[in-house]
Amino acid sequence: MPESGLRIGKIFGIPIYLHSSWFIIFALITFSLAMQFTDQHPKWSQGQHWTVGVLTSLLFFGSVLFHELSHSVVALRYRIPVVSITLFVFGGVARIGREPAKARQEFWVAVAGPVSSYFLSGCFLLLMRVFPSSEMLGALAGWLALTNFALATFNLVPGFPLDGGRILRSIVWGWTGDFARATRVASRGGQLFAYLMIFIGIWQALRGNWIGGLWIAFIGWFLLTASQESFAQVAIRSTLQGLRAADLMSSELPAVSRDASLEEYVQEVLRTGRRCHLVVDNERLLGMMTLHALNRFPREEWSATSVQAAMMPSAEIQWTSPDEPALAVLERMQERDVNQMPVVSDGHVVGMIGRDSILRVIRTRMEVSTQ
Q: How far apart are CA 235 and CA 362, in angstroms?
A: 9
- Banded pLDDT at 369 (limits 50, 70, 90): low
Query: In this structure, which long-range contacts are made by residues 98-101, counting pairs with CB atoms below 8 Å and at least 24 apart in sequence?
Result: 98/331, 98/335, 99/237, 100/75
Task: Supply the pLDDT for residue 329.
Answer: 85
- Banded pLDDT at 70 (limits 50, 70, 90): very high
- 10 DSSP β-pair partners: 15
Query: Average pLDDT in the 15-33 region?
Result: 88
63: pLDDT strictly greater than 60 = yes
Q: How far apart are CA 68 and CA 62, in angstroms?
A: 10
Q: How far apart are CA 60 and CA 126, in angstroms?
A: 17
Q: Are 82 and 96 in contact (CB under 8 A)?
A: yes
Identity of residue 69: L
Task: Supply the pLDDT for residue 161.
Answer: 78
Query: Average pLDDT in the 314-324 region?
Result: 84
HSE toward the beta carbon, residue 95, CA cutoff 13 A: 19
Task: Supply the pLDDT for residue 183.
Answer: 83
Query: Average pLDDT in the 21-40 region?
Result: 88
Mean pLDDT score across all residues of the chain: 85
- Which string of b and e fits 185-209 if b means at least 16 CB within 10 Å? bbbebbbebbeebbeebeebbeeee
- Torsion angle of C-alpha atoms 66, 47, 33, 206, degrees rounded to 10: -150
Give tens-digit pLDDT for 104-160.
999 999 999 999 999 999 999 999 888 877 888 889 999 999 999 999 998 898 887
Query: Average pLDDT in the 38-58 region?
Result: 91
Query: Average pLDDT in the 53-58 region?
Result: 93
SS3 338: coil
Task: Supply the pLDDT for residue 62.
Answer: 92
2: pLDDT strictly greater than 50 = no
**What DSSP character marks residue 320?**
B
Burial class (CB in 10 A: 0-12, 13-18, 19+), 64: buried
Residues in the chain: 371
- Banded pLDDT at 84 (limits 50, 70, 90): confident
Query: Average pLDDT in the 240-267 region?
Result: 85
Query: Average pLDDT in the 157-167 region?
Result: 86
Task: Supply the pLDDT for residue 157.
Answer: 87
pLDDT > 70: percent of the chain: 96
Query: Average pLDDT in the 91-100 region?
Result: 79
Task: Supply the pLDDT for residue 53.
Answer: 92
CATH of domain 245-369: 3.10.580.10
Query: Average pLDDT in the 6-34 region?
Result: 87
Query: Average pLDDT in the 87-111 region?
Result: 84
Task: Supply the pLDDT for residue 4.
Answer: 58
- Banded pLDDT at 283 (limits 50, 70, 90): low
Query: Average pLDDT in the 89-109 region?
Result: 83
348: pLDDT strictly greater than 80 = no
Task: Supply the pLDDT for residue 1.
Answer: 45
- For 26-59, give the DSSP string: HHHHHHHHHHHHHHH-TTS-HHHHHHHHHHHHHH
Query: Average pLDDT in the 85-89 region?
Result: 81
Identity of residue 222: F
Q: How many CB atoms lie within 10 A of CB 18?
A: 17
pLDDT > 90: percent of the chain: 24
- For 261-299, give the DSSP string: BHHHHHHHHHHH--SEEEEEETTEEEEEEEHHHHTTS-G
233: pLDDT strictly greater than 80 = no
Question: Backbone dihedral region of 236: left (phi > 0), alpha (psi from -120 to 50 degrees) or beta?
Answer: alpha
Query: Average pLDDT in the 257-279 region?
Result: 87
